[in-house]
Amino acid sequence: MAPKEPIEKATFPHVVESAIENGSGPEALYAALDLGTNSCRMLIAQPKGAQFHVIDSFAKSVQLGSGLEKTGRLSRDSMNRTIQALKVCKQKLDKYDVKYSRLIATEACRRAKNSKDFILKVFQETGLKLNIIDTEEEARLAVISCAPLVSSKSEQLLVVDIGGGSTELVWIDLSAVPSHERPKSIMRLHSGFNSIESPFPAARVVDWISVPLGVATLRDQFNDVEDDAARFALMSWYFEEKLADFAPYKDNKIDASFQIIGTSGTVTTVASSHLGLRRYDRTKVDGLRMTTDQIDKVIRSYLVMGPDERKKDPRIGRDRQALIMSGSAILQAMLRSWPTDKLTVADRGLREGLLYAQMSANGVLEDVIL
- Alpha-carbon distance values, 158 to 11, 108, 124, 183, 219 (Å): 21, 24, 40, 14, 24
Q: What is the pLDDT of residues 203-227, one digit of tens each?
A: 899 999 999 999 999 999 999 999 9
Cα 369–chain centre separation: 25
Amino acid 263: pLDDT: 93
pLDDT tier at 9, thresholds 50, 70, 90: very low
How far apart CA 362 and CA 35 sit, in angstroms, is 24
- What integer is the mean pLDDT of 359-369? 71
| 193, pLDDT greater than 90 | no
CATH number for region 150-346 = 3.30.420.150
pLDDT tier at 346, thresholds 50, 70, 90: very high
| 21, pLDDT greater than 60 | no
- CATH superfamily for domain 15-136: ATPase, nucleotide binding domain (3.30.420.40)
Percent of the chain with pLDDT over 90: 65
- Least confident piece of the model among 29-38, 115-124, 180-189, 246-255: 246-255
How far apart CA 370 and CA 366 sit, in angstroms, is 11
Amino acid 366: pLDDT: 66
How far apart CA 109 and CA 195 sit, in angstroms, is 29
What does DSSP say about strands 289-290 and 167-173: parallel, antiparallel, or unpaired?
Answer: unpaired
The whole-model pTM stands at: 0.84
Specify the amino acid at residue 235: M
15-136 and 150-346 agree in CATH topology: yes
CA angle in degrees (0–180, nearest 5) for 223-228-231: 55
| 4, pLDDT greater than 60 | no
CB neighbours of 204 closer than 8 A, spacing ≥ 6?
172, 173, 174, 176, 195
* Domain ranges (residues) in the chain: 15-136, 150-346
- What integer is the mean pLDDT of 197-204? 75
Q: Chain-wide mean pLDDT for the chain?
A: 87
* Residues forming a β-bridge with 31: 44, 101
- Least confident piece of the model among 122-136, 147-161, 197-211: 197-211
Amino acid 55: pLDDT: 95
| 3, pLDDT greater than 60 | no
Tell me the CB-side half-sphere exposure of residue 365, using CA atoms within 13 A. Answer: 25
Which of 135, 129, 127, 86 minimizes the C-alpha distance to 110? 135
